[in-house]
A and B are shown apart, each in its own frame.
Chain A
Amino acid sequence: MRFLLVDRLLPTADERHIAGLKAISLADPAFEAHFARRPLYPGALVLEAMVQVLGWLAIRRQGFACSAVLTVMEDARTPPDLAPGTLLRLEGEWLGGNPRGSFGRARALCDGTEVASIGRVVYAHVPVAGPTELEAHRRAYGSLA
């Protein structure tokens, strides 16, 4: 699978918030093993989608010159029975940070109802390996936004 769990970034009003969309498709290879008789989207990947959307905000705030690597997750909920065909709205709020790391919270909504959340997520900022990776970050962000 391509480990890109945000499909689109949406406009937001300020630099402390970010929003995006994640489509749950039956074509996702995770469904081959999860599960054979009934496709349920893995809860861990819903968490990752929220981690990635807020991670994009952290990366953007650092001028795309780092990757945001998950180091702490607390008070997180995820649905155990998310089915293909679901469209999630992902929302992230940046609460603080510095050049070495950042933290915030995130949630996922389905048809306006919150179905998953992370009370606190902390990232380490790992500098990109070089200009090729910096450009890859800019391009990936540009294609999502």
Chain B
Amino acid sequence: MRYLLLDRIEALEPGRSIHGSKTVAMSEDYLTWHFPGRPILPGVLVLEAFTQLAGWLVASDSGFERWFLLEEVHSARWFAFAVPGDRVELALTVAARDGDRLRVTGESRVAGARAAQVELSGRVVELAPLEDPAAARRAFQVLRREAP
């Protein structure tokens, strides 16, 4: 699998919140094993989608100089499974900042119904040692459907 758990960034309020979406396709290889005969989007990949949303919010706020790495899951609850053909809508809000620590809350919905609720925290790090910032900016433009 390509470890890209977002397909689109729908809206962004700098420093405060970001909304994105992940569509679930039967062609995604992890569904073969999760689970045999019963494909379900793995819950931790929803956590990863929220983590990547936080990364894009941090990157956008910092001129693509910073990124977010997950360190703690304070709580996560899944109320409904996402299956092939579903679009998972994700909304993430900054709850607290303390130096290079960031705490966020998130809720996902599938077909209008609440699917998951999470509270995560992690570390804000330099982006350049991880990724080419120019490439990250181009990827962000693709997610935002912006012209380069």
Q: Do A and B bind each other?
A: yes
When C-beta atoms are compared, the residue in chain A nearest to B43 turns out to be A70
Shortest A74–chain B CB gap in Å is: 5
Within 8 Å of chain B (Cβ to Cβ): is A33?
yes
Stretch at the interface among A13-21, A84-92, A96-104, A123-131: A123-131
Check B77 against A71 for contact (C-beta < 8 Å).
yes
Check B135 against A51 for contact (C-beta < 8 Å).
no
When C-beta atoms are compared, the residue in chain A nearest to B47 turns out to be A44
Stretch at the interface among B10-18, B19-27, B57-65, B67-75: B67-75
Check A29 against B1 for contact (C-beta < 8 Å).
yes
Q: Is the interface of A mostly helix, strand, loop or mixed?
A: mixed
Within 8 Å of chain B (Cβ to Cβ): is A45?
yes
The CA-CA distance from A86 to B141 in the complex, in Å, is 34
* A22-45, CB < 8 A from B: 29-38, 40, 42-45
On whether A2 and B29 interact (CB within 8 A), knowing A48-B44, A80-B71, the answer reads yes
Check B37 against A133 for contact (C-beta < 8 Å).
yes
Check B72 against A77 for contact (C-beta < 8 Å).
yes
Contact of B76 among A34, A37, A73, A137 (CB under 8 A): A73
Contact of B69 among A29, A43, A47, A118 (CB under 8 A): A43
> Which of B32, B75, B81 has the most CB atoms of chain A within a 10 A radius of its CB?
B75
Q: What 1/0 mask marks residues of chain B from 21 to 41 whose CB sits below 8 Å from any chain A CB? A: 000000001111111111010
Question: Chain B residues with Cβ under 8 A from A42's Cβ?
Answer: 3, 48, 51, 70
Check A71 against B78 for contact (C-beta < 8 Å).
yes
On whether A38 and B130 interact (CB within 8 A), knowing A77-B71, A136-B36, the answer reads yes
Contact of A34 among B3, B33, B73, B125 (CB under 8 A): B3
Contact of A36 among B42, B77, B132 (CB under 8 A): B132
Check A4 against B33 for contact (C-beta < 8 Å).
yes
Check B73 against A40 for contact (C-beta < 8 Å).
no
The CA-CA distance from A66 to B1 in the complex, in Å, is 25
Question: Chain B residues with Cβ under 8 A from A73's Cβ?
Answer: 43, 47, 73, 75-76
Check B73 against A3 for contact (C-beta < 8 Å).
no
Shortest B49–chain A CB gap in Å is: 9
Within 8 Å of chain B (Cβ to Cβ): is A75?
yes
Shortest B124–chain A CB gap in Å is: 11
**Which residue numbers of A lie inside 8 Å of B, CB to CB?**
1-4, 29-38, 40, 42-45, 47-48, 51, 67, 69-81, 118, 126, 128-130, 132-133, 136-137
**Which residue numbers of B lie inside 8 Å of A, CB to CB?**
1-4, 29-38, 40, 42-45, 47-48, 51, 69-78, 81, 122-123, 125, 128-132, 135
| Pairs across A and B, CB under 8 Å, 18 listed | A4-B33, A29-B3, A31-B3, A32-B3, A35-B131, A37-B131, A38-B129, A43-B51, A43-B71, A44-B44, A44-B45, A72-B75, A73-B43, A77-B71, A78-B71, A78-B73, A80-B125, A136-B37
